[in-house]
Amino acid sequence: MQSVYVDGLGMTKFGKDPRPLTEIFRQAAQEALAASKAQEVDAIYIGVMNPEEFTGESNIASQIADALGLTGIPSLRIETASSAGAAAIQAGFQSIASGYYRRVLILGGEKMTHLSTSATTRILAEVIDKQERQCGATMPGLAAMITEKYRQKFRLSQSRLENMLCSVALKNHLNGSRNPLAQFQKAITREVYLTSKLVATPLRLYDCSPITDGAAALVRTSEKTDVHLSGIGQGTGPLSLRERDTFTSFPATRIAADRAYRMAEASPQAIDFAEVHDAFTPFEIITTEDLGFFPPGKGGDAAIEGKTAAEGPLPINPSGGLKSRGHPVGASGLAQVVEVAKRLRGQLPSKRQFKRGLTQSTGGLGTNNFVTILELADTPKIQNPGKLSPVPTAGQKKAISPRSVADEGEIETFTILYVTPDGFLPPLALALIRTRDGRLLMAQGEDNEHLKIGREVYLRRMDDFYLFTVKSQFQKVQESLKKRRRRKAAPSPKKEDSMDSKV
Amino acid sequence: MQSVYVDGLGMTKFGKDPRPLTEIFRQAAQEALAASKAQEVDAIYIGVMNPEEFTGESNIASQIADALGLTGIPSLRIETASSAGAAAIQAGFQSIASGYYRRVLILGGEKMTHLSTSATTRILAEVIDKQERQCGATMPGLAAMITEKYRQKFRLSQSRLENMLCSVALKNHLNGSRNPLAQFQKAITREVYLTSKLVATPLRLYDCSPITDGAAALVRTSEKTDVHLSGIGQGTGPLSLRERDTFTSFPATRIAADRAYRMAEASPQAIDFAEVHDAFTPFEIITTEDLGFFPPGKGGDAAIEGKTAAEGPLPINPSGGLKSRGHPVGASGLAQVVEVAKRLRGQLPSKRQFKRGLTQSTGGLGTNNFVTILELADTPKIQNPGKLSPVPTAGQKKAISPRSVADEGEIETFTILYVTPDGFLPPLALALIRTRDGRLLMAQGEDNEHLKIGREVYLRRMDDFYLFTVKSQFQKVQESLKKRRRRKAAPSPKKEDSMDSKV
């Protein structure tokens, strides 16, 4: 395979940008071309998630070639939801690795802030499973349910979890305060975090990345430069929560990381710093575990202990991350790579010289993820890269049949949404319910009381979704009495009975 | 570069398909996998144009990996408007040529028929330039204006042009009548063509491809099979009509063809048959000229003379083309390749053994085009591939300033729209006007009388667009009298005057 290097870089100031999308792209592209050894490129690869709905624009690849004055040159749009910028890197990488092109311009961008928050939330929610959306689920809502499951699995108290999430938010805002291109350039205090409004329990406003406009650009080349793209990998995961084997890890990240580490002949121990997809603070914690930086359940402790701070042994999101730099969905996966390349080149203020950086980008609810490894050219490989944790096998998926469902079950995880999509009134309780026959389904709570993982519930089927009610102590006693009575009354089952039950 | 071969193929019956988009994709994918040497693939590349607006679906790459039971495996969506299926081939090709993947599944599809024609027309029209859209321009409208320009440039009578277009429509419907997967499986007569309704002069209903659901699939591999992908190329062209140097050729096709021919070490003379993007019958004619099959202005004669018939020396669209097979926008570019591979393999009824086939796919109004060449493995290269016509240089674009515009000009080309977008009443006259300062702009006619290329017009600026009125004979006489009077009255210009005019 032809080696692939990074040449010129470009990025707009993230935040609210009044210019049309093509103009935002143009600024980033021109910066990257101007900073490159040669201004000519063979093709343009563009990551953008949904200009069709965000700005009413279609045929964006031709539009951008036109806007850049590069009409004639091949131009493609690549999309994998919120990791589209990373997907463009992957496709652009292959175009050079194959020898088909020598220099390509990679772009990632999105324009979102001109729409209302509810319109943006609706468009973003289209990436999640339809049945879960019909219940009122949103991206923050599902992220919250994953977080609650994480808390229960690793036996964390409410305040310990809060402390972990807060540590990530404070760290990333502090890092963003030093990044002149970040949307939020101010550090926040613990008090600001703790008094910010709840979006979906246990997630607060400061746990969620903002709505942002922006674009990033990078020239990729087969000619040797100072920064080498040494590893890249992609993986997918199940769309719906109810088809997942695990809620506290993203298999898509682990598949992508495994490929990227193997290609780069590197391991988690070889990585000096990383930019990861902290669309929600808990995702940064889970991702640092999936990447093998910390053992499962320990990513939050690392944040609390300052291990992932900009000055710590393994800086995570030194740029401020999606949380503070902002999250123009199609741009983020590429913006991470631009940040890492700048840091390796020593173009960002830091006392340390880094040699090898990693980026991780998440599409949808962890359904289409990428990992990229960049290193200073001629960095020696580490001798014993260490063992990677086993990676989930691709192609496995639990079969679900939405038709046959028991009328009882227990809470697998839950959240209370305080910011709801149009047509749903807050506060809205949502839970993933494990039914008696072992299936998972998403349901809306009839009220918000007594929610806890493991609680037994009754289920009621509505037109498009299920409603659940937590069983009261009284109901449980009643039921157990009923069962005891039935057991006494019923004769022992005969062979004919069991034959019948098969019919 | 690693050689790339075609393995299993799949395609749904094109037309109205009641199933969800993911199900349509699944059928095509399963057929292609079942027909392949091995059922495993390393990644999925999906061409689809606008599921966001056609079916309200986002994150389609993850959705499809999930629907195929291939969760875990990398999955990307590629988009270049109506050539998205071909774009997926290009990206998938590079992934194997680089050695990064060994086997990939390429998919292309779209679901459109569940929407009203006006909704579909609106979504499709988003691919064209915004200013031209604001005038009421649609894809058929702009295609019609290109056709009128073609007629004038090559000095064709109305009836000669009609004969050319009719020949293409009749040929493609006849071919479609033999294709069990085509949307329209019936031949049409000249009378049916001539009495079909006008969509945009001079184009009739039977000059336009239909609205279609469908998907195609192909497994691409580095392992040798009987069909070799020997050449592939892409090119872009200006978005708007008013920035074009030529209206009767698509530079994007010529750039793409040049690359594909060079890569395959082939020339137009080496091609046995082709599937080209006949979204409108005149586009087939123009494309056969851009591909070098016939000289400029002669593509229509070739159709009339039967040279491009299924039994002719150079069959064009033996499958029925977009016109008769149908045009699910994201599927078409891939469906062409599936058709060519099947024909090379002798899986379609034909008396001849073909060795080398070509496909050409068009994105938008000729703004993002692809050419692919497939051949039977071990087909000897031709000795003197002949000379290719010079290809337009990429990166050139005329500067336009929409602000400064004269108030007079002449008609560069025009059409009368009989099927208009929402908010515009038919019949609607549209014209590309060349203003006195040499710029081009799109304008709406105040009436539909006296339209002809070269006619002088007055221009009036409205909020979003321009209105034009053709000057009457009387007005022209008045003007020339006025000018003569002015010339007599005015003194000869002094140096100061010319200095002034520079200010």
Chain A CB within 8 Å of residue B257 CB: no
Tens of pLDDT, residues B438-483:
899 999 999 888 999 999 999 998 887 899 999 987 787 788 788 7
Q: How many CB pairs under 8 A join A and B?
A: 234
Residue of B nearest to A260 (CA): B100
pLDDT of residue B398: 52
Asked whether the predicted pLDDT for residue A440 surpasses 90, the reply is: yes
Chain A CB within 8 Å of residue B296 CB: no
User: Minimal Cα–Cα distance from B233 to chain A, Å?
Assistant: 8
Q: Which of B62, B77, B126 sits opposite A367 (nearest CB)?
A: B62
Between positions 54 and 73 of B, the ones with CB within 8 A of A are 56-63, 65-66, 69-73
Closest C-alpha among A473, A268, A224 to residue A387 = A268
C-beta of residue A79 within 8 angstroms of C-beta of residue A49: yes
Chain B residues in contact with A119 by the CB 8 A cut-off are none
Which percentage of chain A shows pLDDT scores above 70?
A: 92
pLDDT of residue B24: 98
Indicate yes or no: CB of B61 within 8 angstroms of CB of A72. Answer: no
- Between CA A452 and CA A431 the distance in angstroms is 10
- Between CA B343 and CA B178 the distance in angstroms is 13
Indicate yes or no: CB of B80 within 8 angstroms of CB of A76. Answer: yes
Indicate yes or no: CB of A94 within 8 angstroms of CB of B100. Answer: yes
- Strands (E) in B68-135, as ranges, are 75-79, 103-110
Tens of pLDDT, residues B331-354:
999 999 999 999 999 999 888 899
- A360 phi and psi, to 5 degrees? -135, 130
Residue A249 binned pLDDT confidence (cut-offs 50, 70, 90): very high
Asked whether the predicted pLDDT for residue A386 surpasses 70, the reply is: no
Residue of A nearest to B395 (CA): A70
Residue of B nearest to A69 (CA): B395
C-beta of residue A247 within 8 angstroms of C-beta of residue A154: no
Indicate yes or no: CB of B236 within 8 angstroms of CB of A66. Answer: yes
Angle at B458 between CA B454 and CA B464, to 5 degrees: 110
Residue pointed to by tokens 């050319």: B164
Distance of CA B176 to the CA centre of its chain: 19
Strand, helix or coil for residue B133: helix
pLDDT of residue B384: 66
Between positions 84 and 103 of B, the ones with CB within 8 A of A are 87, 90-91, 93-100
Angle at A378 between CA A376 and CA A380, to 5 degrees: 100
Asked whether the predicted pLDDT for residue A402 surpasses 90, the reply is: no
Distance of CA B160 to the CA centre of its chain: 23
User: Minimal Cα–Cα distance from B331 to chain A, Å?
Assistant: 16
pLDDT of residue A463: 82
Sign of the alpha-carbon torsion through B376, B377, B380, B385: positive
Closest C-alpha among B334, B394, B322, B330 to residue B363 = B330
Tens of pLDDT, residues A198-230:
999 999 999 999 999 999 999 999 999 999 999
C-beta of residue A172 within 8 angstroms of C-beta of residue A278: yes
Q: Which residues of chain B have pLDDT under 50?
A: 396, 399-403, 494-503
Indicate yes or no: CB of A236 within 8 angstroms of CB of B2. Answer: no
Interface test with A, best of B94, B101, B107, B130 (most A CBs within 10 A): B94
Q: What is each CA distance from A133 to A7, A399, A408, in whole angstroms?
A: 42, 20, 22
pLDDT of residue B474: 77
Q: Strands B203-204 and B198-200: what pairing? A: antiparallel
Tens of pLDDT, residues A410-430:
999 999 999 998 889 999 999
C-beta of residue A279 within 8 angstroms of C-beta of residue A365: no
Chain A CB within 8 Å of residue B462 CB: no
Chain B residues in contact with A2 by the CB 8 A cut-off are 98
Chain B CB within 8 Å of residue A361 CB: no
Query: Mean pLDDT score of chain A, rounded to an integer?
Result: 92
pTM equals 0.92
User: Minimal Cα–Cα distance from B7 to chain A, Å?
Assistant: 20
Distance of CA A282 to the CA centre of its chain: 10
Tens of pLDDT, residues A286-315:
999 999 999 999 999 999 999 999 999 999
Between positions 308 and 337 of B, the ones with CB within 8 A of A are none
Q: What is the mean pLDDT of residues A321-333?
A: 98
Strand, helix or coil for residue B100: coil
Q: What is the mean pLDDT of residues A252-256?
A: 97
